[in-house]
Amino acid sequence: MKHSPCVLLQSMLRAVWVLLLVSGLTGVAGFAAADEDGQQLDEELQITLMHPAVRPGLLHRFQVHLVPRQSEDHSQRRAAFVITVFSQDRENILFQRELQRVSARSLREGLVVNWLAPDEWPDVPLQVEVRWQLSGRPLTARKTLPDLLAIARRLTVLDEQLQAQGTQDPLPWLWIEQMAEELRGPTDHFGSRVIIDREALLRQWLTGSRDVKQLPEQAWRDPSDGSVQPVRLTRPEGQDPRGIVVALVNGPVHAKSRWPRMSEDRRTAITAAGWRVVEMFPAGDPAFQGHNRQRLQALIMAERNRYPDVPLVVFARGDSASGAVWQPLLHPSTVSAVIIDHGRWRTPATTAVAADEATQRWQELHQQPERRLAHLHGVRAYVSGPLDRHLRNFWQRRERVDGQSLLHQVDAQVFATSLWWEELARDLDPPQQPQEYRVLVPGRYGPWFVHYVADPLHGGSLRRERDSGQLAINGLEGVRMVTEGDRRQHTVVPSPTVVPPQASGYHYGRAQGPLSAYARQPFVVILGSGEHQAAAERNYALLNRFLSDWAQHAWGRPPVVSDQAFRSEDWLQHTWVLIGGPLSNAVTRRLQERAPQLLPVQWDHRSVSIEGRQEARSAQVGVAIAVAHPQDQSRQVIVLDGKPVWPEGDMPLRGLADFAWQIGDNPVQTRLLIPLQDEQER
């Protein structure tokens, strides 16, 4: 990078310096000199960086020492001291200053130099040189300065090298993200250290070293959006774990390199007792009201597959207690116990208005944890500190089910005591399968996968009869035994009590809402190119809003494909999120041509018809629809058009039924599309 003399002169004029006298010990170059009595001393100037890297437009600090140091120095030696920061071969000088009559004593105590870096500099190594101009025997030291501009330029090269290797391991990609996050804004001391450390780790990885796999911070891929997420692992020394603690850390999250951690005393006590600690990154959902529930399940299943015969507990504090309680409710037989420290129950709110009584009942049903109390069979709860009234009332209702007290009050100090954790490992069993599963939505329930719930307002159940051991199925269809690797290619268990849904009205196929269920499986976003410029701009604005809100909530980014480049055979295992109706998205149009009754909305080039009401197509009208894929009824297709129908900054489509729409500033309305049992009976 070349610079004109004017630019370089301006950069030098912006540089400022501050000199402070402090004590300390430091680092690089020397000269043999004599003291005032003629005694030969091996003296040298050493430079130590007090900030890990030079940052554009910010102060940088280093310290200069004269060594060896003596307890007392009565030397009166004084000489000029010159400080120069320059690019390679002094082609460009970024900072220079000469100090008169600098004493040996001040150099032995330590001379601190602050200088202001310019906004940019040439793409060559930076160096600092200090020279103490002793008569006839000057001392000089020189040191290369790490600088963030150079690291930022090298980051692109490292990224290209990783792509060329074709590595699928998420760990080096996490380091790339962490470096990019820290380089994005003004970087502090911690951020500079992160950048330098991650670059060193990346270079080790690219040379074939895999020792980094033993570092506490590891990475995994979210199966929904393919994003890389950090996780901290603390392993017990020299043994297989006696149990697993999944910790839901609580606190502000600033970056994937800056997130809260479990207290050191607790983590040390847990691992000393032989437990393995897994700290989950909370992303933008610390209260576990959205996608974090899915991520927690994925982490727990990975740990259960690795260590199936040990107890597993979820440890939560504050708002994250909601995640600890919902985990065994939503995913039974995965948890032995929950441990809650000063817990609070957070119920996700929705601003959408139910369009009918059935949808209102459906919304309320999914906020009632007592509907799944059967899932807590054998799950204990250990609580320290006060619980809010919602959590306490919930556990009291649970105790009334079978008369057993499963809520154990403990002092928070025991969490930092290894003896308590040793006793807990002896007392707890591995997660046990409950006798009954209450099924409100399709998905995995213990060893079974439920394909379809016939009546979403009442749900269904799976119950193993104690005497015969047979499986009784009520209100469900397509119940399959799960084996690891492929959960769907197995014999269907018949369900004679099911009332099969009919493809009547707007409903087609058997997949069902809620709209947010797109994130339960891998999903891809398909952008419609639009039939004209205005439609293309609306689609692009809707896409940006979806990606922005997903990034804020989940700290990830799903794959995005244009409708012109989309090939269905490449995305057979994904849920499709279509941006644009049948006129502005070619994939939506093909789906509607195959199933004319697929969508409950009609479009023409000027207007859109919603619930019998015709509105002009504009950025003030929005719809969201969840329907079954015509070729695979187990998968959803989500169609979004117009304005977003979810609050800005929230998980897209959270809390909405199968169909939602908004006209102007009116509240979002939502309703179920699938036929209900009581409607069929009428």
Question: Where does residue 317 fall: left (phi above 0), alpha (psi -120 to 50 degrees), or beta otherwise?
Answer: beta
Which ranges in 555-645 belong to alpha helices (H)? 586-594
- d(CA 378, CA 369) in angstroms, rounded, equals 17
- The share of the chain scoring above pLDDT 70, in percent, equals 86
Outline where DSSP puts E strands in 494-631.
523-527, 560-562, 575-579, 601-603, 607-610, 613-616, 621-629
Task: Give me the domains of the chain, ranges plus CATH numbers.
Answer: 5-146 (2.60.40.1930), 150-212 (no CATH), 216-427 (3.40.50.1820), 436-493 (no CATH), 515-678 (no CATH)
Tell me the backbone φ, ψ of residue 514, rounded to 5 degrees: -75, 170
Q: Report pTM.
A: 0.83
Q: What pLDDT is attached to residue 615?
A: 87
Structure confidence at residue 18 (pLDDT): 35
Give the model confidence (pLDDT) of 504-525 as tens digits. 333 334 566 789 999 988 999 9
What's the pLDDT score for residue 467?
A: 72
pLDDT digits (tens, 9 = 90+) for 328-352: 999 988 999 999 999 888 877 778 9
CA distances from 48 to 126, 146, 209 (A): 15, 12, 29
Query: Average model confidence (pLDDT) for the chain?
Result: 83
> Hey, is 216 helix, strand or coil?
coil
- Residues 183-207 have a mean pLDDT of 90
Strand partners, 98: 82
Residue pLDDT, tens place only, 600-614: 899 888 889 998 888
Residue 237 CB: number of other CB atoms within 10 A?
A: 7
CA dihedral 250, 253, 258, 261 (to 10 degrees): 0
Q: Are 502 and 539 in contact (CB under 8 A)?
A: no
**Integer CA distances (angstroms), 85 to 114, 129, 205, 218, 570, in order:** 11, 6, 32, 38, 54
Mean pLDDT of the region 528-542: 93
State the CB neighbour count (10 A cutoff) for residue 482: 15
**pLDDT for res 493:** 36
Tell me the pLDDT band of 234, cut-offs 50, 70 and 90: very high
Note the pLDDT of residue 497.
31
Quote the pLDDT of residue 442. Answer: 81
Q: What pLDDT, on a 0 to 100 scale, did the predictor assign at position 309? A: 95
The Cα 179–Cα 195 span in angstroms is 5
> Could you give the CA distance from residue 212 to residue 619 in angstroms, rounded to a whole number?
49
Using the predicted structure, report yes or no on whether residue 31 has a pLDDT greater than 60: no
pLDDT at 479 over 80: yes
Mean pLDDT of 92-118: 89
**What does the alpha-carbon distance between residue 270 and residue 416 come to, in Å, rounded to a whole number?**
7
Is the preceding omega at residue 68 within 30 degrees of 0, hence cis?
yes
What distance in Å separates the CA atoms of residue 398 and residue 382, rounded to the nearest whole number?
14
Amino acid identity for residue 416 in this structure: A
Q: What is the pLDDT of residue 537?
A: 94
For residue 279, what pLDDT band results from cuts at 50, 70 and 90? very high
Classify burial at 264, counting beta carbons within 10 Å of its beta carbon; exposed 0-12, middle 13-18, buried 19 or more. exposed
DSSP 54-94: B-TTSEEEEEEEEES--S------EEEEEEEEEEGGGSSEE
Q: Given a cut of 50, is residue 388 above it in pLDDT? A: yes
Angle (CA) 513 519 525, round 5°: 100
Q: At what angle do helices 321-330 and 389-402 cross, to 10 degrees?
A: 30
**What average pLDDT does this structure show over 130-140?**
85
At 264 the three-state DSSP class reads helix
Judged by DSSP in three states, 302 sits in helix
- How sure is the predictor about 625, in pLDDT bands with cuts at 50, 70 and 90? very high
The DSSP letter of residue 519 is G
Distance (Å, rounded) from C-alpha 549 to C-alpha 519? 13
CA distance 241 to 221: 24
Q: What is the pLDDT of residue 141?
A: 93
Longest dimension (CA), the chain: 112
Candidates 84, 87, 96, 126; CA nearest to 3 is 87
Asked if residue 495 has pLDDT above 50, the reply is no
- What confidence score (pLDDT) does residue 89 get? 67
Chain centroid to Cα 405, Å, comes to 36
What local confidence, expressed as pLDDT, does residue 441 receive?
Answer: 82
pLDDT surpassing 70 at residue 30: no
Pick 56 or 423 by higher pLDDT. 423
| Range 536-558 burial, b when 16+ CB lie within 10 A, else e | bebbbebbebbbebbbebbbbeb
Distance, CA of 623 to CA of 607 (rounded, Å):
13
Q: Are the beta carbons of 215 and 230 closer than 8 angstroms?
A: no
Question: How high is the pLDDT of residue 22?
Answer: 33
The answer to whether residue 5 scores a pLDDT higher than 50 is no
Reduced DSSP (H G I as helix, E B as strand, rest coil) percent helix, strand, coil of the chain, to 5: 30, 30, 40
Sign (positive or negative) of CA dihedral 300, 304, 306, 312 = positive
Q: Could you tell me how many residues make up the chain?
A: 682
225-251: average pLDDT: 93
Record the tokens describing residue 676, joined without a space.
């209900």
Residue 355 in tokens: 């369009």
Pick the range with the lowest mean pLDDT from 314-318, 393-397, 503-507, 648-652. 503-507
- Residue 68 has what pLDDT? 75
Distance, CA of 550 to CA of 540 (rounded, Å): 15
Alpha-carbon gap, residue 445 to 479, rounded angstroms: 10
Residue type, 556: G
Q: How far apart are CA 327 and CA 295, in angstroms?
A: 10
The percentage of residues in the chain with a pLDDT greater than 90, rounded to a whole number, is 45
| Strongest mean pLDDT among 228-237, 354-363, 364-373 | 228-237
| 628 vs 63: which has the higher pLDDT | 63
